[in-house]
Amino acid sequence: MNNIAISAGHHLTKQTAADVLLSGGNAIDAAIAAFLVAWIAEPCMASGGGGAFANIYTANKKAYLFDFFCQTPQIKRPASDLDFFPILVDFGDTKEEFYIGTGSTATPGSIDGIFTMHQHFGTIPMKELVLPAIAAAKNGVIVDSFQGHDIGLLRPIFEASTQAASFFIDGKLVQKGDRIKMPLLADFLDYMGTEGKAAFYKGEVANNIINTHKKKGGLLTQKDFDDYKTIIRKPLSYNYNNTSVLTNPLPSIGGSILILLLHYLGKIDPKKSPKSYAHILEVYQAMKKVVRIGKSTKELYAAIRKIVPNFEYSPALSSNKHGSTSHFNIIDKWGNAVALTTTIGEGSSNFVDGTNIHMNNMLGELSLMPDGYHSWQPNIRLSSMMAPTIVVDTFGKPIIVTGSGGASRIPSAIMQVLNYLINYELPLNEATDFPRLHLEHGIFNIEYGFESPLHSKEIDDKVLAWKDTSMFFGGVHSIYKQGNQYVSKGDERRDGVAYSKT
């Protein structure tokens, strides 16, 4: 196989990756360029002020997990000194409170991450990889339906900022069909392409951020920026039905939950219809076991240790949040594969002056603070449910490259797509579109499309039967080795897009 394939959350992110691959770049080059474009095309999910994870599997069968997620600040200030205030986001089925403001921001890793990836695997100069994003920032990007929906959800955050000018036209918040331009970001990216990551972590931009945090109730200092480093980890690996599933290791918890779900699901009889009542029960029982042990961190780690050789304990914070998260996958003609998932939380409403960069609000996520707001420990890498995943066959060749947005639903959404691909051998389109299940907070959510309603005594949680498909169940974008070619599929629940070319 020597074809290229891409799946992503936005057509411009996808097209940018394709252009880089077709011009001779590798999957890592394409991932860097696509990620930068996502800062404009998917502005509620991606930013230089956020963080990400990149699962990279090289053509010579080497596996790496680049952790450039957000880090807690090194110095704490009294809560009364912080710019830290609540906003309410209306998700339709529920309302959720988040805290935003300068004091909600952890040290961003996005920019350090792309330069670390480039240092290890990049083949095209960074000053060229920034060009598509510069063009998008100058010319603007038309807001699609999914981005318009997300921008509408986060209206209170944009309205709380005097710097969010890119998100308003004639005083009105942009919506589907409007064009977002970020001219200041274009200038910053041009500068960054020449100066490297120091363009953000040192000098004028860093001083701007640090002074804002000092004067306006924030926490970040130059030492936070000086000490931030992307961590290259060994992916968590689990042998599942003649494949090796490579996913996000600790301290993030999403990959561990995915592995446990697959373990408890076990080997499925493909003769049993995946829409059947019996299969629903199998998935429910696997989810129930993970929910039960997930209430105790020690039990969770003990369960993983039993099934993953050489598993090492690491302190982790659980994540259970709505979040604004995006994912894309790329495989190049040489067989290098990248799965990258990113987020800025909901955003802090603080945009860095002169850059259009929206800073994260990771410290304003109660779910990341198990003992309450401001309970975080200084200078640790935050945890996440994000689980970019690559599955390889017995010959060490990638057969699935996948990941999802969807916060706490990420592991279960990915698990179900893997189940349909590995156990049932469904085509990728069918496996992605197939209805999904999710158990959380004592509610067993059943997406529309299964054969019959549940009425079993074996289900002791409340059953919620959805009347339609929904972004609640994630957005699993994937690449799959189907026959002798890689095919790709974007999840329509989140307006996903795909591209492949021989």
Residue ranges of domains in the chain: 4-232+326-368, 237-320+393-481
Structure token pair of residue 243: 């494949």
Task: Give the pLDDT score at 321.
Answer: 44
Sheet strands (E) in 366-457: 389-392, 398-405, 437-440, 443-446
The values of phi and psi at residue 19, to 5°, are -60, -40
Q: Specify the pLDDT at position 407.
A: 83
- The CATH number of the structural domain formed by 237-320+393-481 is 3.60.20
Q: Is 291 left (phi over 0), alpha (psi -120 to 50) or beta?
A: alpha
- Report residue 16 CA to chain centroid gap: 19
pLDDT of 298 reads 77
| Contacts (Cβ under 8 Å, ≥6 apart) of 500 | 3, 4, 5, 6, 479, 485, 486, 487, 488
Residues 6+ apart with CB under 8 A from 92: none
If we measure between CA atoms, which residue out of 69, 389, 89 comes closest to residue 258? 389
Per the listing, tokens 């988040």 go with 98
Q: Spell out, as residue ranges, where the chain has pLDDT lower than 50.
A: 316-322
Q: Which residues pair with 405 in a beta bridge?
A: 475
Report DSSP state, residue 49. B
- Dihedral sign, CA of 17, 355, 67, 302? negative
**Residue 325 catalytic?**
yes
pLDDT tens digits, one per residue of 31-55? 999 999 999 999 999 999 999 999 9
Catalytic residue among 72, 325, 341, 355: 325
pLDDT in tens, 213-240: 999 999 999 999 999 999 999 999 999 9
CA-wise closest residue to 151 among 138, 132, 169: 169
CA–CA separation, 437 and 446 (whole Å):
5
